[in-house]
Amino acid sequence: RELGVINGGAGAIIVDGQRHDIGHRDALYIGKGAKELVFVSNEASRPAKFYYNCAPAHTAYPTKKVSPADVAPVTLGDNLTSNRRTINKYFVPDVLETCQLSMGLTELAPGNLWNTMPYP
């Protein structure tokens, strides 16, 4: 399997003994074959918030950190329909090679409520 993690706080992920520090909105791709994962918060009073997703994998790609500066943002929607948002594409072919895992982080613009078009 392959694993993607996007972090909502300061922390680290230790993959087979190698520490990867990841801050707020950083991400880590962990390829097929990793045996041991340890998730760490830097501060107990402000814990990391690891959002993760995994998928079957047929090829082993290397573990790689992706920062917000690396992502492919796309802004969609309209303030009139309350769905103005930016989709930050973290794990897509233009940013990172994976077997089939795709992940992103959607940010709603101020005053907007919907991640997609509201149903009529």
119 in any annotated domain: no
Assigned domain for 63 exists: yes
Interatomic CA distance for residues 74 and 71, integer angstroms:
10
Question: Tens digit of pLDDT for each residue in 2-57?
Answer: 999 999 899 999 999 999 999 999 999 999 999 999 999 999 899 999 999 999 99
pTM of the model as a whole: 0.89
Q: Does 27 fall in a domain?
A: yes
Total count of domains within the chain = 1
Task: Classify residue 117: in a domain, yes or no.
Answer: no
What are 83-100's pLDDT values in tens digits?
999 999 999 999 999 999
Domain at 47, CATH number: 2.60.120.10
In a domain, 12, yes or no: yes
Q: Specify if 118 maps to a domain.
A: no
Residue 60 belongs to domain spanning: 2-108
Pair type for strands 37-41 and 50-55: unpaired
Rounded to 5 degrees, what are φ and ψ at 68?
-55, -30
